């Protein structure tokens, strides 16, 4: 963490902001992967939300498409 | 997806990875086809001097000139923060599998609520800039009475797309994302630069391919 702060403070704001954007993008992918794995393992939206420190509605709004996608794939497989 | 489209996408992905580029462009598709395909249109291009080796060398020249950006996508910036994105990707692949990582990246990049704000490309994402070329290929196939586009149609689509500047027919959102890839909307397409560097003209090549197609490839 000390290294991270030292690196970040010595940077140009443009580089710093671009780094934040890149980091945010990476975090979103990591979150999506872990939420999907949790749902597949039977975790409830409430349990996922608690771990992420957000509300159940917030996590469902963001990742709810996972369930819709699963339903779509299920319907196609059932045809 | 149709088999030839899928094959072209896979070849483009391989070439993009080999050149360490952070997007899939028509130049990668062209190079992949020149390396592997024996379709008549590809043979015509080879006979005119557009061999895989020549295109590979031209692409390397464009990289050196800065006309084609090398992969970064925030990687260097993240490295500055002590995050090695290659290592992250390797670990995610081991833990989740490549397909799951690609799918999650895609889902995040296409998430609807992101569209209201500036699109942030995840460092793992590899935007595909092949759609217009594939649409032109499909149109060319239909005009010739074929139901499905073949590799020959895809080659025509790639050349047709290269006649127009980068970003042609992209949405406002798409155009905004080009500078994030270090590509300049309105600049000549890399395929055009490659073809012209070999002393050829896109229009002339396109005419030759169409004539070859109409004569039944003889």
Interface of A with B in 36-55 (CB under 8 A): 36-37
CATH number at residue B135: 1.10.1780.10
Judge contact between B185 and B165, C-beta under 8 A. Answer: yes
Residue of A5, A16, A28, A66 to mutate, interface with B, max B Cβ within 10 Å: A28
| Rounded Cα–Cα distance for residues B193 and B163 (Å) | 10
Judge contact between B30 and B158, C-beta under 8 A. Answer: yes
Question: At B178, is the pLDDT very low, low, confident or very high (cuts 50, 70, 90)?
Answer: confident
DSSP A17-43: HHHHHHHHHHHHHHHHHHHHHHHHTT-
Question: At A7, is the pLDDT very low, low, confident or very high (cuts 50, 70, 90)?
Answer: very low
* Residues of the domain holding B162: 3-70+128-214
Judged by average pLDDT, the poorest of A54-58, B36-40, B92-96, B214-218 is B214-218
| Rounded Cα–Cα distance for residues B157 and B41 (Å) | 11
Mean model confidence pLDDT for chain B:
85
Q: Which residue of A has its CA nearest to B73?
A: A22
A33: closest CA of chain B, how far (Å): 6
Judge contact between B47 and B205, C-beta under 8 A. Answer: no
Q: Determine the angle formed by the axes of helices B151-162 and B131-143, rounding to 10 degrees.
A: 120
Give a yes or no: residue B50 inside a domain. Answer: yes
Judge contact between B155 and B130, C-beta under 8 A. Answer: no
- Residue-range domain boundaries for chain A: 15-78
% of residues, chain B, pLDDT over 90: 42
This model of the complex carries an ipTM of 0.72
- The tally of domains found in chain B comes to 1
Give a yes or no: residue B40 inside a domain. Answer: yes
Across the interface, do A36 and B113 touch by the CB < 8 Å criterion? no
Q: Which residue of B has its CA nearest to A11?
A: B80
Question: At B124, is the pLDDT very low, low, confident or very high (cuts 50, 70, 90)?
Answer: confident
Distance from the first to the final alpha carbon of chain A: 52
CA distances from B177 to B163, B173, B174 (A): 21, 6, 5
pLDDT at B84 over 60: yes
Across the interface, do A19 and B81 touch by the CB < 8 Å criterion? yes
Q: Which residue of B has its CA nearest to A8?
A: B81
User: HSE on the CB side for B106, CA within 13 Å?
Assistant: 8
| Rounded Cα–Cα distance for residues B55 and B10 (Å) | 18
Average pLDDT over residues B168-174: 77
Across the interface, do A32 and B92 touch by the CB < 8 Å criterion? no
The residue ranking higher by pLDDT, B9 or A76, is B9
Q: Which residue of A has its CA nearest to B118?
A: A21
Mean model confidence pLDDT for chain A:
78
Residues on chain A touching B72 (C-beta within 8 angstroms): none
Across the interface, do B78 and A32 touch by the CB < 8 Å criterion? no
Give a yes or no: residue B16 inside a domain. Answer: yes
| Predicted pLDDT of residue A3 | 43
| Predicted pLDDT of residue A6 | 46
């Amino acid at each position: 963490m000390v290294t991270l702060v030292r690196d970040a403070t010595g940077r140009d704001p443009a580089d710093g902001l671009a780094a934040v954007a890149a980091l945010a993008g990476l975090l979103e992918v990591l979150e999506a992967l872990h939420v999907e794995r949790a749902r597949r393992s039977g975790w409830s939206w409430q349990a996922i939300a608690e771990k992420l420190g957000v509300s159940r509605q917030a996590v469902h709004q963001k990742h709810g498409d996972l369930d819709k996608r699963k339903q779509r794939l299920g319907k196609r497989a059932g045809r | 997806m149709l088999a030839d489209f899928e094959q072209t996408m896979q070849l483009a992905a391989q070439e993009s990875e080999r050149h360490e580029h952070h997007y899939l462009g028509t130049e990668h598709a062209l190079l992949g086809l020149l390396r592997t395909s024996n379709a008549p249109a590809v043979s015509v291009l080879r006979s005119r001097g557009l061999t895989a080796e020549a295109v590979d060398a031209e692409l390397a020249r464009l990289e050196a000139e800065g006309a084609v950006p090398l992969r970064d996508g925030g990687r260097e910036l993240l490295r500055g923060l002590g995050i090695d994105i290659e290592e992250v990707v390797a670990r995610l692949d081991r833990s989740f599998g490549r397909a799951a990582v690609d799918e999650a990246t895609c889902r995040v990049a296409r998430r609807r609520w992101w569209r209201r704000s500036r699109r942030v490309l995840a460092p793992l994402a590899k935007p595909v800039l092949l759609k217009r070329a594939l649409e032109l290929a499909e149109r060319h196939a239909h005009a010739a009475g074929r139901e499905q586009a073949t590799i020959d149609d895809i080659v025509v689509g790639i050349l047709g797309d290269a006649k127009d500047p980068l970003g042609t027919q992209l949405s406002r959102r798409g155009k905004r994302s080009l500078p994030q890839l270090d590509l300049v909307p309105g600049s000549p397409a890399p395929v055009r630069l490659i073809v012209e560097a070999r002393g050829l003209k896109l229009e002339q090549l396109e005419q030759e391919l169409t004539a070859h197609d109409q004569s039944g490839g003889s």
